[in-house]
Amino acid sequence: MKKVWEIASMVIGAFFIAVGSNLFIIPHQILSSGLNGLAMITGYFTHWNIGLLYLIFNAPILVAGWFILGKRFIFNSMVSVVAVTWFMQLLPVYQFNDTPILGAVFGGCLIGFGAGISLRMGGSSGGFDIVASIISRYRDIQLGMMIVGLNGFIIIALGYMKDNWDLALYSMLSVFITGKVMDVIHISHIKVTAFIITNETELMLEKLLGLPRGVTIIKTRGAYSEVEKDMLMTVTTRYELAELQNIIKSVDKKAFVNIVETVGVMGAFRRRKP
């Protein structure tokens, strides 16, 4: 059932991306983020099918990602890319509104929401999302803002080639909004620290060390009971927090847990194992 839900989420996210592209972005000749934007700028000048270009451009990156990011991530990304292509063929390109700035705003929101769902469920919408995901494994950088930077040169190319810098600015607005919405949905860059006081220290450690995070044991003593216990401290991400809470509940339902948001981490913190 978990795999079915992941695939369904990829398809739902793809639908939002296709709606944002065909109804808000493409009719105004502005750009989206990632390889979707590259497919759009190519389609605007060649009149080729943008959905199919999106699939063709993603193919080599998906193959490369298969060896770096793992089969599960890339399989989910393949589902997303194929679904986006299919929905873009299914939905007509229709100018839903007359104002380009509204197209940029609402298109960016829809595409960011769809891409964020894909990332949160363990996949991506392809293209620069995969490139950014590879970089974010080794650098603590917000995914959405990284993608904004990767898209800059495509937007500049649009303004130069069309000699219309208004379109380039609308595109930058769309990409920026897409990145911000993605960071709201995809919360793996937000870190939290959990302090766990339990009577099942060894069993809890065994379970927690199965996660890609370190655990520190701190000796504590209750001020009222004067009983000495072990407190386990671990830093994880908001995305992984639900799994951490499930582990704690399964080992010791009476454990006292304090979870606080972490401003920053220095040292060997990895979002995922390399």
pLDDT in tens, the chain (274 residues): 777 888 998 999 999 999 999 999 999 989 887 788 888 988 988 989 999 999 999 888 888 778 776 677 788 889 999 999 999 999 999 998 899 999 999 999 999 999 888 877 777 777 776 776 666 666 655 555 666 666 777 788 777 777 778 888 898 898 889 888 887 886 656 778 999 998 888 888 888 887 767 888 888 888 888 888 889 998 887 656 777 888 888 888 888 889 888 776 666 555 444 4
Task: Count CB-CB contacts under 10 A for residue 192.
Answer: 16
Percent of the chain surpassing pLDDT 90: 24
Cβ burial of 139 (10 Å; 0-12, 13-18, 19+) is exposed
Give the closest residue to 181 by CA, choosing from 231, 142, 154, 212. 142
pLDDT (0 to 100) of residue 185: 81
Give the closest residue to 34 by CA, choosing from 102, 120, 165, 133. 133
Specify whether the CB–CB gap between 208 and 250 falls below 8 A: no
- Start-to-end CA distance of the chain, whole Å, equals 28
Q: How far is CA 122 from CA 16, 78, 222, in A?
A: 17, 12, 41
Specify whether the CB–CB gap between 162 and 170 falls below 8 A: no
Q: How far is CA 251 from CA 88, 201, 247, in A?
A: 47, 9, 6
pLDDT tens column, 249-272 = 888 888 888 988 877 666 655 544
Q: List where CATH 3.30.70.120 sits in the chain.
A: 191-262
Cβ burial of 122 (10 Å; 0-12, 13-18, 19+) is middle
pLDDT tens column, 169-201 = 898 898 889 888 887 886 656 778 999 998 888
CA–CA gap between residue 10 and residue 26 (Å, rounded):
22
Specify whether the CB–CB gap between 182 and 17 falls below 8 A: no
Question: Who's near 5: CB < 8 A, 6+ residues apart?
Answer: 121
User: Which CATH fold would you assign to the domain 191-262?
Assistant: Alpha-Beta Plaits (3.30.70)
pLDDT (0 to 100) of residue 273: 44
Specify whether the CB–CB gap between 126 and 61 falls below 8 A: yes
CA–CA gap between residue 27 and residue 33 (Å, rounded):
16
Mean predicted lDDT score pLDDT of the chain: 82
Phi, psi torsion values for 49, nearest 5 degrees:
-70, 120
pLDDT (0 to 100) of residue 16: 96
